[in-house]
Structure 1
């Protein structure tokens, strides 16, 4: 059973919060100016000295790193649904002791809400207060507090940006001269390197565990969209999410993120997001306010031995098989066909589908890439100008604690309408707009009736023809109630989404 650390955070967080009695306050990141800040981190990418004898103590390393690792506490409002009605509620004896799901007037009681407190860890990466953590640590939080372990000093944290696809979030606290961590080049780590994991497991306080790099490039776990994990046997437990994984010199090589466990606790199989990937995502979130990823516009699958024989691919060649191309996609415009096997990107061999996805995802829209494919057993080369990944989350760039009142259509994910979507949802060619690909079940939009497969045509009386326009219009809605015109199942309709009633 795969377990991401957040799944077991709730009970641990409640115990930890009761013990230290913190009080959270909401924060808001100031975006009043168009000019976004830049960030400067400390990097030491020199190779690790692997020939030296193992130290008898890592105390000097811990003393250097520990001040940069902080505790992250969050609260969010959770709606507790009423249980389904059972025949027992017709029994007066049962209702005497357990109550009725109905009020005195016979109306069904409304589900109650309560505050859920969770905990995690974070890493200070700049002296002026930028902090890296996991997206799942702060996702949906109304309030965030950051506390240093040594002096217990607490700060209100503001969400600068989040990237659910890599499970990375960037926080900011108002402070100066903080002890920031030094980054290593995580591409240079090797299996067998000694590592230390620092974090706040179960809320008991900062804890250090030791292990080795068990594997690199782990993926296919179903935890995130972009998986390129460092695997370690250093003990990682709930509460370690967002904490530091450092090498024997105390340099950050990864963010502790998930475990594979049958018990819910550490069983020697932990995963960390590589520091290079974390830094790349952080830079974009701080400097651009969003993540821009290159997009080939192909549907691909792993090349099995059986498929390789059918497409005349040599046994020694790896790659990713193109099964479908999106209309007017970057790959289609360059001349790539279904049935092509992509074997190289910018001169780097493609190992499999996941490897190609990672390589393209690290590039930016507008980048020109060289693509080598096998078609009918013969090599062909193309120059492809990448486009931008179409799916975007409405108002996600400003998805911060305490900011729900100004976010229109919170919890709605949209994408552009392609041929596959038109076929799947029977959307006529005349229908233009932003395709809803996901709606959070506890959002105001869901309560209003918006569902995946619907097409948003207008927001606040303003017409939208694609996902980017829907995102942009939603950013400028100033009221809690917003009128939405949408197409669904053969016709258009209007609904009013009331963010003031968000659960």
Structure 2
């Protein structure tokens, strides 16, 4: 009897739970259905503002290469050579390239067509024209640019302004009343938030892909001179460049720019320029025709734990000044190589890319303050920001570096200076680097100039050897110059 009642009880409970399980399944399906409708709503709202950009230029026909690739030779790439190299890299070194200095091949002229994406921008003063934003690498160097909207309308476009340092360009068309995408608030964008990329991958017009914000503030990737990327796993492929990355409210939060890939296609990591940076640069290009950036005149590098110890610092927070340009605002203010910048305008600094962006955003003529550490003492320095000269590029430092280190150095005599095409004077020059040495692993190269060992100048091979031999703890701190760029390097051996 007890067994009969127990079985009845179990059956009754199961009967009661079954509707709840079915309801949960229905709720799950409905939730997915609503998510899909949200993406569809974004597509309806944003797609009319997104354009397919087609570019064309005249290029000399290259000689036929013996190395075949799936797209044919370098003159037949469906998205243009710039697109190919940006997404695939120089994986085919013997393949003919467009506009490669010193390697033009004789032959007849032929048209080369490329594609990308863009979106209508609500400029500060649009006037009677419509301004469209895209990447500089999409339109740079082309003879003809055209844009095509979702409804089939096509327009010829001209370049209003470009900024290669950030890879942002503004093109314009003679039309008005075209819908602009609302500008979102990048500061409110959160990691994990849904985002939608819309563009023309591989020429497939107005393709929508969905993902999340994987990270913010990605700098020092080596894609552009000035970087502050949104990382996303929304699929981005060749042809997406210049298209919008939007939130679920249909507001643009970034411009799709590049991908990380070993194959050339989507591998789950894409990068977009934040819309706050895009908007600031676009307005300058429209209103002034150029981008004005602040300039200090210093080369900087991360303050690693090894470098912090070498400078007898109790912290590895901050960034290290590796070089100060002559007659620059930094030199006039008294900044010196070896100074450690702790904060800028009262805000802590630890990332070199972020610091470069913050300086660039300052208006020329404005006064800024730094807290620095020099010789173990903290002090405040005030600097008057100048305008970044046109010929100044944000340099990327490279490390360089007795027998213990695996290098041979020479004093810089007049003959040596002529041999290596450098100026005679201070430092010693690296003439050989042993394979597999700590110097080689540190990236040291023949022709590098070593200026200091453990904060003391070395102007002969003998001085260099003595300084290395007297180093404690089998470790040296070097100040190295390569192509007029200096940085500190810590090398150690056992």
TM range (shorter): 0.5 to 0.7
Tell me the SS of whatever aligns to 1:277: helix
> How do 1:334-349 residues align onto structure 2 when only pairs under 5 Å count?
334-349=333-348
Q: How far 1:54 moved relative to its partner?
A: 7.3
Cα pair 1:308 1:314 within 8 Å, conserved:
yes
Contact 2:121 2:180 in 1 (8 A): yes
**Displacement of 1:318:** 1.9
For 1:73, the equivalent position in structure 2 comes to 54
Deviation at 1:285, TM superposition (A): 0.7
Other structure's SS at 1:57 match: helix
Q: CA–CA distance in 1 between the matches of 2:259 and 2:207? A: 17
1:313 to partner: Cα distance:
2.7
Other-structure match for 2:191: 191
Change (3 A) 1:56 1:82: closer
Unaligned runs of 5+ in 2: 1-32, 67-104, 393-419, 425-494
Give the structure 1 partner of residue 366 of structure 2: 367
Query: Given the alignment, which residue of 100, 103, 116 partners 1:120?
Result: 116
Q: Indicate how the Cα distance of structure 1 residues 159 and 392 shifts in structure 2: closer, same or farther if over 3 A, else same.
A: farther
CA distance in 2, matches of 1:152, 1:425: 57
Could you say what secondary structure the match of 1:64 adopts?
A: helix
* Equivalent-residue separation in structure 1 for 2:376 and 2:283 (angstroms): 41
SS at match of 1:182: coil
**Cα distance in structure 2, aligned partners of 1:110 and 1:118:** 22
CA contact (8 A) 1:303 1:352 kept: no
**Given the alignment of the two structures, is residue 136 of structure 1 paired with residue 137 of structure 2, yes or no?**
yes
DSSP-derived class of the 1:308 partner: helix
Match of 2:472 in 1: none
Instruction: Note if contact 2:219-2:354 (Cα within 8 Å) is conserved in structure 1.
Output: no
- The Cα shift of 1:221 comes to 2.1
Deviation digits for residues 437-481 of structure 1 (CA, Å, limit 9, x no counterpart): xxxxxxxxxxxxxxxxxxxxxxxxxxxxxxxxxxxxxxxxxxxxx
Structure 1's unaligned 5+ residue stretches are: 1-52, 86-108, 394-423, 429-503
Which residue number corresponds to residue 227 of structure 1?
Answer: 227
Q: Contact 1:133 / 1:243 at 8 angstroms: preserved in 2?
A: yes
Secondary structure, counterpart of 2:332 in structure 1: helix
- Equivalent residues of 1:318, 1:352 under 8 A apart: no
User: Which residue does the alignment assign to 2:37?
Assistant: 57
Deviation at 1:175, TM superposition (A): 0.9
Deviates more, 1:326-335 or 1:363-372: 363-372
Q: TM-score, normalised by structure 2?
A: 0.62
Per chain length, whose mean CA-contact separation is higher, i.e. which structure has more relative contact order (CA < 8 Å, sep 6+)? Answer: 1
Partner of 1:381: 380
In structure 1, C-alpha distance between the alignment counterparts of 2:423 and 2:201, rounded to whole Å: 49
Determine helix, strand or coil for the equivalent of 2:369.
Answer: strand
Partner of 1:351: 350
Task: String of CA shifts for 1:255-299, please: whole Å, max 9, x gaps.
Answer: 001111122111111100000000111011111111111111011
The root-mean-square deviation of aligned C-alpha atoms, in Å, is: 2.2
- 1:436-451 alignment to 2 at 5 Å? none
Aligned length: 321
For 1:340 and 1:164, locate their aligned partners in 2 and report how far apart those are by CA, in whole Å.
30
Structure 1 match to 2:149? 148
Match runs of 1:468-479 below 5 Å: none
Superposed displacement of residue 153, structure 1: 0.6
Deviations 1:20-40 (A, max 9, x none): xxxxxxxxxxxxxxxxxxxxx
